[in-house]
Amino acid sequence: MFWLEALTEVKMINVVTAIFLVYRGISVAQIFYTTIVFSVVTLLTELPSSYLADKWGRKKVILLSLFFNLTNWIVFIFAHSLLAFCVGFALMAVSDALMSGTDEAMIYDTNKALGDEKNSLTNLGKYFSAKRIFKIITPLLAVLIAGSLRDEQFVTLLIIDSLAGIAAIIFGLFLTEPKHYLKIEKIEAGVFKDAVSIFKKNPELLRVITGKVLFFMANFAIWRISSEMFRNNGVAIIMIGVSNSFYSLVVFIINRFTGKLGMGEKIYIWINRFGDWTLGCILLMAINEVWWKSGYLGLGLFCGVVIFESSRWPLFSELFNRVSHSYNRATVLSLSNLLKSILEIPTMLLCAIFVGWGYQYLLFWCGGLALTATVFFRVKNNPEEKAIPNQAF
CA distances from 63 to 166, 239, 348 (A): 11, 36, 30
Helix (H) or strand (E) holding 247: helix 237-256
Query: Residue 205: its pLDDT value, please?
Result: 75
Query: Residue 256: its pLDDT value, please?
Result: 80
Query: Residue 157: its pLDDT value, please?
Result: 98
Q: Give the least confident one: 25-34, 175-184, 295-304, 352-361.
A: 175-184
Rounding to the nearest 10 degrees, give the CA dihedral for residues 317, 224, 96, 157.
-120
Q: Give the least confident one: 22-36, 107-121, 309-323, 360-374.
A: 107-121
Q: How far apart are CA 165 and CA 249, in angstroms?
A: 22
Structural domains in the chain, CATH included, are: 2-386 (1.20.1250.20)
Q: Considering only CA atoms, give the Rg of the chain.
A: 20
DSSP type of residue 51: H
State the pLDDT confidence band at 317, using cuts at 50, 70 and 90: confident
How many other C-beta atoms lie within 10 A of the C-beta of residue 365? 21
**Please, what is the average pLDDT of the chain?**
85
Average pLDDT over residues 336-363: 92
Query: Residue 232: its pLDDT value, please?
Result: 95
Residue 368 has pLDDT above 90, yes or no: yes
More confident residue, 101 or 164: 164
State the pLDDT confidence band at 389, using cuts at 50, 70 and 90: very low
Q: How far apart are CA 158 and CA 293, in angstroms?
A: 32
Residue 257 has pLDDT above 90, yes or no: no
More confident residue, 113 or 314: 314
pLDDT in tens, 120-139: 656 666 776 787 788 899 99
Query: Residue 329: its pLDDT value, please?
Result: 58
What percent of the chain has pLDDT above 90? 56
CB 230 within 8 A of CB 133: no
Closest CA to 32 of 315, 280, 221, 278: 221
Query: Residue 117: its pLDDT value, please?
Result: 60
Query: Residue 209: its pLDDT value, please?
Result: 85
Query: Residue 71: its pLDDT value, please?
Result: 98
Residue 266 has pLDDT above 80, yes or no: no
Give the torsion sign (CA, 330, 335, 340, 342): positive
Average pLDDT over residues 317-340: 66
pLDDT in tens, 62-83: 999 999 999 999 999 999 999 9
Query: Residue 380: its pLDDT value, please?
Result: 77
Q: How far apart are CA 168 and CA 218, in angstroms?
A: 29
DSSP code per residue over 169-225: HHHHTT--PPP----HHHHHH-HHHHHHHHHHH-HHHHHHHHHHHHHHHHHHHHHHH
Average pLDDT over residues 190-210: 70
pLDDT in tens, 8-46: 999 999 999 999 999 999 999 999 999 999 999 988 887
State the pLDDT confidence band at 222, using cuts at 50, 70 and 90: very high
Global pTM reads 0.85
CB 383 within 8 A of CB 319: yes
Query: Residue 38: its pLDDT value, please?
Result: 95
Query: Residue 357: its pLDDT value, please?
Result: 97
Cα-based angle 74, 79, 83 (whole degrees, multiple of 5): 120
Residue 363 has pLDDT above 60, yes or no: yes
State the pLDDT confidence band at 195, using cuts at 50, 70 and 90: low
Query: Residue 316: its pLDDT value, please?
Result: 84
The residue type of 336 is S
